[in-house]
């Protein structure tokens, strides 16, 4: 323990004769390892603490002003442990302890027995080191939790299923499209790709009132979930549905020619645009689709998506013209 005190520094916060008496104590053998700074006010002591000039504060009763608030101000401004020296006056001691002093030392015993002060200072330094380790551990724990949160969010973003809408992510859909195209090339299977959008329109059909439903931030979550549920409910088990773009969705229909995909989209359009009587307060929905079928000319995912996007744009323009 003695080795820990070789480079320790203490600020003696006192006035008048008490400052001199406490300062002289550090000439005795038990306290010679301490380097002493004298501070005649709490402001002076606070400056020393800010400059990291001391490891402990030895505050004497003489530093307290008439309303006994100086010590409280100092303890709120620093993390350095404070040892309070005073006469055995219960009110003064209680005030100092309530204001943050770590230990109380009776003045006569402290002046008469330097070893008592040395032991108290050593204990205060060890206590401060424990507090600092605890705070570092807490900071590390918070950092670890923050990293875990980021990792969890990354994992959530990479898993196939999207949590909010209840269907697959765009990344998974593009990977699955590549797999289905390869399967069609290898085995000659039919494949249709559908890109769709669901829009919220005004009752008069005005284009200015339309806004995308799927994927739009701020849309009612219940309506988005309802739309995703209808899409998932209407497809076959072998079909795959998921997000495409910020406001759209994609459907992969294996073993389905374009004619079958058109029939499916018409049925899905009725399901999406016919709001049940229990939901008459919901806004009117409009669904648009673009369809592309696998063929030897459209044998790559990129070409299929481009063809489906062109068809979707035409369908969107046609619905706007109807409005």
Closest-CA residue to 222 (of 155, 157, 173, 275): 275
Give pLDDT, residue 1.
Answer: 41
- What per-residue confidence (pLDDT) applies to 137? 83
Spatial neighbors of 273 by CB under 8 A, at least 6 apart, are 284, 285, 286, 287
Tokens at 227, concatenated: 């739309």
Adjacent-strand bridge partners of 199: 212, 286
CB 15 within 8 A of CB 132: no
Cβ burial, residue 171 (10 Å; 0-12/13-18/19+): middle
- In the predicted model, what is the mean pLDDT of the chain? 81
Higher pLDDT, 222 or 12: 12
Q: Give 36's strand partners.
A: 10
CB within 8 A of 256, min separation 6: which ones?
Answer: 190, 191, 192, 264
Confidence of residue 133 (pLDDT cuts 50, 70, 90): confident
Digit-coded pLDDT (tens) for 31-77: 988 999 898 887 888 788 778 778 888 989 888 765 555 666 666 65
Q: 42 or 1: which carries more pLDDT confidence?
A: 42
**Nearest-angstrom CA–CA distance, 303 and 191:** 13
* pLDDT for position 55: 85
Q: How confident is the model over 112-138, as a mean pLDDT?
A: 84
- Digit-coded pLDDT (tens) for 239-278: 999 888 877 899 999 999 999 999 999 999 998 887 654 5
Per-residue pLDDT tens for 143-169? 888 888 877 776 655 556 555 545 788
Residue 279 CB neighbours (<10 A): 11
| pLDDT on residue 204 | 52
Mean pLDDT is highest, among 73-82, 103-112, 313-322, for: 103-112
Q: Which helix (H) or strand (E) holds 82?
A: strand 82-86
Residue 5 confidence (pLDDT): 43
Which tokens in the block code for residue 217? 């931030």
Give per-residue pLDDT as tens, 286-312: 889 999 999 877 678 999 999 999 999
Domains of the chain: 2-136 (3.40.50.2300), 170-322 (3.30.70.270)
With tokens 């229990």, the residue in question is: 278
Q: What is the pLDDT of residue 290?
A: 95
Cross-strand partners of 292? 193
Q: Provide the pairing of β-strand 56-60 with 35-39.
A: unpaired
- The distance of Cα 294 from the centroid of its chain, to the nearest Å, equals 44
34 CB-contact burial (10 Å; exposed 0-12 / middle 13-18 / buried 19+): buried
CB 282 within 8 A of CB 275: yes
Among 282, 217, 221, CA closest to 247: 217
Ordered alpha helix ranges (H), the chain: 16-25, 42-50, 70-77, 90-98, 107-112, 114-158, 170-187, 221-234, 258-273, 301-322
């Amino acid at each position: 323990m003695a080795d820990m005190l070789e480079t320790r520094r203490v600020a003696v916060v006192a006035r008048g004769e008490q400052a001199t008496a406490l300062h002289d104590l550090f000439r005795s053998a038990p306290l010679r390892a301490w380097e002493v700074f004298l501070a005649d006010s709490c402001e002076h002591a606070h400056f020393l603490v800010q400059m990291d000039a001391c490891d402990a504060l030895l505050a004497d009763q003489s530093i307290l002003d008439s309303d006994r608030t100086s010590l409280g101000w100092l303890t709120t401004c620093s993390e350095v442990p404070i040892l309070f020296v005073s006469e055995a006056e219960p009110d003064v001691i209680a005030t100092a302890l309530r204001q943050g002093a770590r230990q109380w030392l009776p003045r006569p015993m402290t002046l008469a027995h330097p070893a008592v002060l040395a032991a108290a200072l050593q204990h205060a330094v060890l206590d401060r080191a424990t507090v600092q380790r605890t705070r570092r551990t807490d900071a590390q724990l918070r950092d670890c939790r923050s990293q875990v949160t980021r990792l969890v969010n990354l994992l959530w973003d990479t898993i196939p299923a999207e949590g909010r809408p209840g269907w697959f992510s765009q990344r998974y859909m593009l990977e699955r499209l590549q797999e289905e195209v390869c399967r069609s090339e290898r085995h000659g299977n039919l494949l249709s790709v559908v890109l769709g959008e669901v829009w919220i329109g005004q009752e008069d059909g005005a284009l200015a009132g339309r806004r995308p439903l799927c994927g739009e931030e701020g849309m009612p979550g219940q309506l988005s979930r309802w739309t995703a549920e209808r899409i998932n409910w209407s497809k076959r088990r072998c079909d795959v549905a998921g997000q495409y773009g910020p406001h759209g969705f994609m459907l992969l229909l294996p073993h389905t020619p374009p004619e079958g995909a058109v029939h499916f989209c018409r049925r899905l359009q009725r399901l999406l645009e016919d709001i049940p009587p229990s939901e008459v307060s919901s806004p009117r929905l409009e669904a648009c689709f673009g369809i592309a079928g696998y063929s030897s000319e459209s044998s790559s995912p990129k070409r299929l998506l481009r063809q489906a996007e062109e068809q979707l744009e035409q369908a969107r323009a046609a619905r706007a013209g109807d409005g």
